[in-house]
Structure 1
Amino acid sequence: MSSKKIQMGTQEKWIVVVAGIGLLLSTLDTGIINVALPTLATDFHVNAASIAWTVTLYTLSIVGTIIVFGRLSDKFGHLKIYSLGLIVFTVFSVLCGFSQNILEIVGFRILQGIGASMLQATAVAIISTTVSEKHRDSAFGTLSALMGLGPVLGPSVGGAIISLCGWRWIFWINVPISIIGLIGCRYFLMRNKEVHNSNSIDLSGNLLLTGAILALLVSVSTWNSNGGYHLLTVVLLGACAILLFAFTKNEARIEQPIIRLSLLRNKIFSASLLAIFVFGGSTSLGFIIPPYFLEQISHLAPWQVGIVNLSSPLGIALLSKVSGHLMKRFKPIRLMTFGLIVMFISYAVLGQMQNNWSPLLMALLLFLYGMGGGLFLPANISALMEAADKDSHGTIGATQRMVQNLGIIIYTALASNFIHTTSESQSVLMGGLRNSWIFAALTFIVVIIIFVIILTSKKKVRVSN
């Protein structure tokens, strides 16, 4: 019997590795291309705005299709959609590396993003439906660590690859890692029968939701470049609101909606979605803002900036495993609340940053933020999955990733506006950086208050009973 237990534990560890490979690759490729943009612009003889579409459209294709693939994975099997995602991601990674002009690389990046969407939509559901309940929280901790490392390792890994091998290898490096993931998928598909459901695919709901998301993302982009009161920005925000209203009406009237709106009446579920939005956006500021300060104020070399920027994901990676174990003793909502408080403290202090601050102090505060994030993220995944039926875990996992990505996009746009008018003045730059930190800290306060209200109300209910 003891050997059987060891075998089951080993199999579960490999399931986490396989699921983590896709999540790491798809998040890594969100940032790995950033350092290559100047090189690509030179090679393809285009300006910076044109080559930036390789980043923008990759992200749009993920956010715009992720719910669809989450839903498809609930119907046809999480590992099957995940395997298909690995194939699509790998094929178009190879083609990205062979691109000869701007149209080719932009087109291949869109299709690579669709593969990434399949991976992000299913990774959490693979674990929640395959790993035993006893080890699930620990598995979520490992997955959260990989989720935190991907975005910030992208620029570091990309810079090293470009220096040693050239920009094409930032895409081709995905191939051997993807092959390992595909072998693992094949192994588990042969030995595990996935549970499917008979739910229909709500095409009208998918189109309305995708349209609303795309309208929101394009409005953010136009707002960032033209201002919040620009006519196109206002029109797109209005279109987003109309499409969302139509989506909710559609979901309320059909028998098998994409997302059961009744879930939103679950206070913990709704609060957890809001929290992952704030976490995603605030964490992105921890990657964007420090380089401005460290390069322009502290005058550090790029490699030194990269080391400081690793502080936050290091904290996430270290504490995610701890959070997975702590969930055996504490409810996810309590761990999320504590993690949110730690992240708020970090950003509230960073909101007071001064010109003479040492890079070490910033690194310590970012590490503190990462520790809070590491406590928060596995608990957030667990809370969302606990609220949903098992046959909709793919959809809920996809929703979590979509909301987190929306937070990243919107907070990035806001931060760009805070520091857009920096000119040559260090005081103006510092003001913009401080305002970015303070904005994120204020949004943490809002979420913390909501969580405290939920915790307090739960206590009152128990006392009254």
Structure 2
Amino acid sequence: MSPHSDSSHGDGPHQQQEQEQEEQQQQDEAIDSSPERTPSGARWALAGLSLSILLSSLGTSIANVALPTLAQAFSASFQQVQWIVLAYLLAITTLIVSAGRLGDIIGRRRLLLAGIALFTAASVLCGLAPTLWLLIAARAAQGLGAAIMMALTMAFAGETVPKGKTGSAMGLLGTMSAIGTALGPSLGGVLISGLSWRAIFLVSAPLGILTLVLAHRHLPVDRRSPETGRARFDHVGTLLLALTLAAYALAMTMGRGSFGSLNIALLLAAAFGIGLFVRAEARAASPLIRLAMFRDPALSASLAMSALVSTVMMATLVVGPFYLSRTLGLAEAFVGLVLSVGPLVAALTSAPAGRVADRFGAQRMTVVGLIAMAAGSLILSMTPTTLGIAGYIAPIAVITAGYAVFQTANNTAVMADVRPDQRGVVSGMLNLSRNLGLITGASVMGAVFALASATSDVTTARPEAVATGMRITFAVASVLIVFALGIVAGGRALSRRDSSD
């Protein structure tokens, strides 16, 4: 895509405005009219966007393996060092929608460059932090940079490739996300054992600089329409949404499995916050999220399905380690190896899934992905322990491949038709729905697993009890995916009814 020129001159502001709109329309038509070929400039831009997703995913997964080392280094408890992970996740969850909306208003390229720079600088600060609380603060700043990168990367993908290649671009981003998630624990372990815990943060700095250079050189210059020029950033809505999401995220993550009075109070605060946010958005002249967007049955269905599917995917991370170690008796090294199969399958599946979505249609492939996830979950819920590792890996591969197909197709379906001035905020909402699903899944599917295992402490449960808990948890997971398929059918029925009216 050729960058928009800022040097156009007209006889007056109205003529200049019309000329800019005409140029933008011509550029959009030029992109959409060449579905078979992606210009070389767009390929380099996609490389920069892919690195952005890789870095933000790596930032999520690489720190977990270092928590025992960090507890020793800072003479801190697990409850204290877990904030190194929580601060990053909370920053992303609470600010990702706001980052997307801000990009729509002030320019996505400008904000994405700032986000990459912030992430890179914060990575250096994390690696040099002399105290635990400075490390946590730097991780929060790194999370803010990651929120900007996640929200705007998907929004940019629709601008840098022809419309007929949107699925392929989404598949590439899905692949990079899966690679970042899978690479984190193994790379973190190598860096900690070979160098020190500081290396797991400093390794992101050179990658961040490379990402910044690629994005600066190859991303298209911002083109602001008259509507975005007049829009104002919704500070009240941003604050209310951030506080609401923070309360919900903390309610789901604090307590390590126990749900006490503090968790209930945080959930009530989140519910109250939602009411305040909806009221504020209904009155705002330029709201953070236009509530009318949720009247679109396709968008609402996509967001709901994304949250449900992510809830199920978290079950594989919650249940897997206990089943593999307690029931199958695998050593820690082998547990980590088996758990890496899921992200590896996602990495191998996402890019082909994008091409298939472009060819056969994103909505159709969304259903195919959900059916695969439901089948894999159902098989896992009936798998006898006598099948061993193979009996676990095969259904997990089916679930993960289905998830990769669903995620790519669902994102493609939403981002292919969204208005240009709403791409950032819609991308942020898609990422938010996924994050909320993961956070909810960690708590809810963990509780289902504990109840199904009929034990107060899963870490000391009998192998048979853990196996029973695993089967029941994935039976519940298959029901949730069937419910997601029902949302697809309901959304299509509403869309047909609206179009007929």
Both proteins in one fold, TM over 0.5: yes
Other structure's SS at 1:135 match = helix
1:201 Cα deviation (Å)? 0.4
Structure 1, unmatched stretches of 5+, are none
Name the residue aligned to 2:433. 403
| Cα separation, 2, equivalents of 1:208 and 1:345 | 40
Q: SS of the counterpart of 2:358?
A: coil
Q: Using the alignment, how far apart are the partners of 1:140 and 1:226 within structure 2?
A: 37
Q: Per-residue deviation at 1:37? A: 0.6
Give the secondary structure class of the aligned counterpart of 1:358: helix
Structure 1 residue 63, shift from structure 2 partner: 0.6
Q: How does 1:5-404 map to 2 (within 5 A)?
A: 9-189=39-219, 192-196=220-224, 197-198=228-229, 199-222=231-254, 224-227=256-259, 230-404=260-434
In structure 2, relative to structure 1, the CA distance for the partners of 1:363 and 1:265 (3 Å cut) is same
1:411 Cα deviation after fit = 0.5
Which letter maps to 1:330? F
Aligned length: 457
Q: Verify: 1:434 aligned to 2:464, yes or no.
A: no
What amino acid maps onto 1:84 in structure 2?
A
In 2, the alpha carbon distance for the partners of 1:7 and 1:354 equals: 49
**C-alpha separation in 1, matches of 2:285 and 2:492:** 33
Check conservation: 2:281, 2:287, Cα contact below 8 A. Answer: yes
- SS for the counterpart of 1:357 is helix
Q: Is the 8 A contact 1:128 1:136 kept in 2?
A: yes
- Partner SS for 1:329: helix
Q: CA deviation at 1:48?
A: 1.2
8 Å contact kept, 1:268–1:333: no
Q: Which amino acid aligns with 2:401?
A: M
3-state secondary structure, aligned to 1:327: helix
| C-alpha deviation, 1:387, in angstroms | 4.7
Q: CA offset at residue 284 of structure 1?
A: 2.4
Letter in 2 for 1:215: A
**Does the 8 Å CA contact 1:315/1:369 hold for their aligned counterparts?**
no
In the alignment, which of 450, 454, 457 is matched to residue 491 of structure 2? Answer: 454
> By how many angstroms is 1:398 displaced?
1.0
- Structure 2's unaligned 5+ residue stretches are 1-30, 451-455
Letter in 2 for 1:315: V
Question: 1:337–1:452: 8 Å Cα contact kept in structure 2?
Answer: no
Partner of 2:24: none
Indicate the SS of the match to 1:63.
helix
Residues 337 and 246 from structure 1, CA distance in 2 versus in 1: closer, same or farther, beyond 3 angstroms?
same
Q: How many angstroms apart in 1 are the aligned matches of 2:328 and 2:126?
A: 37
Report if the CA contact (8 A) 1:44-1:100 is conserved. no
Range with greater deviation from structure 2 (38-47 or 129-138): 129-138
1:182-225 CA distances to partner (integer Å, 9 max, x unpaired)? 11112025xx3212322210111111111111111122234655
RMSD: 2.3
Which stretch shifts more, 48-57 or 320-329?
Answer: 320-329
> How far apart, in 1, do the equivalents of 2:284 and 2:417 lie?
21
Local SS of the residue matching 2:359: coil
Q: Which residue of 1 aligns with 2:457?
A: 421
Task: Give the Cα–Cα distance (whole angstroms) in 2 for the partners of residues 362 and 350 of structure 1.
Answer: 7
Question: Distance between the aligned counterparts of 2:417 and 2:272, measured in 1?
Answer: 28
Larger Cα Rg: Structure 1 or Structure 2?
2
- Is contact 1:224-1:416 (8 Å) kept? no
Q: Call closer, same or farther: CA 1:8–1:349 in 2, change over 3 Å.
A: closer
2:358 and 2:80 map into 1 onto residues whose CA distance is 49
User: Matched residue of 2:328: which SS?
Assistant: coil
8 Å CA contact 1:311, 1:370 repeated in 2: no
Question: Which residue identity lines up with residue 210 of structure 2 in the other structure?
Answer: I
Asked whether the 8 Å contact 2:42–2:218 carries over to 1, the reply is no
Distance 1:334 1:261 in 2: 27
**TM-score normalised per structure 1:** 0.92
**CA–CA distance in 2 between the matches of 1:186 and 1:20?**
14
- How far apart are 1:253 and its partner, in Å? 2.4
* Deviation larger for 322-331 or 271-280: 322-331
Distance 1:288 1:235, change over 3 A: closer
Partner of 2:16: none
CA distance in 2, matches of 1:41, 1:207: 32
State the TM-score, normalizing by the size of structure 2: 0.86
Sequence identity percentage: 28
Q: State the Cα deviation string for residues 400-453 of structure 1 (Å, max 9, x = none).
A: 111111111110112333336323422332233233322322211111112123
Tell me how far apart the structure 1 counterparts of residues 255 and 298 of structure 2 sit (CA, whole Å): 32
Following superposition, the deviation at residue 276 of structure 1 comes to 1.0
Change (3 A) 1:424 1:289: closer
Change (3 A) 1:46 1:9: same
Aligned AA (2:188): G
Conservation of the 8 A alpha-carbon contact between 1:315 and 1:373: no
1:242-268 residue CA offsets vs partner (Å, 9 max, x unmatched): 111121122222232212222211111
Cα deviation, residue 8, structure 1: 5.1
Return structure 1 stretches of 4+ with deviation > 6 angstroms: 4-7, 459-462
1:223 to 1:51, Cα distance in 2 relative to 1, 3 A: closer
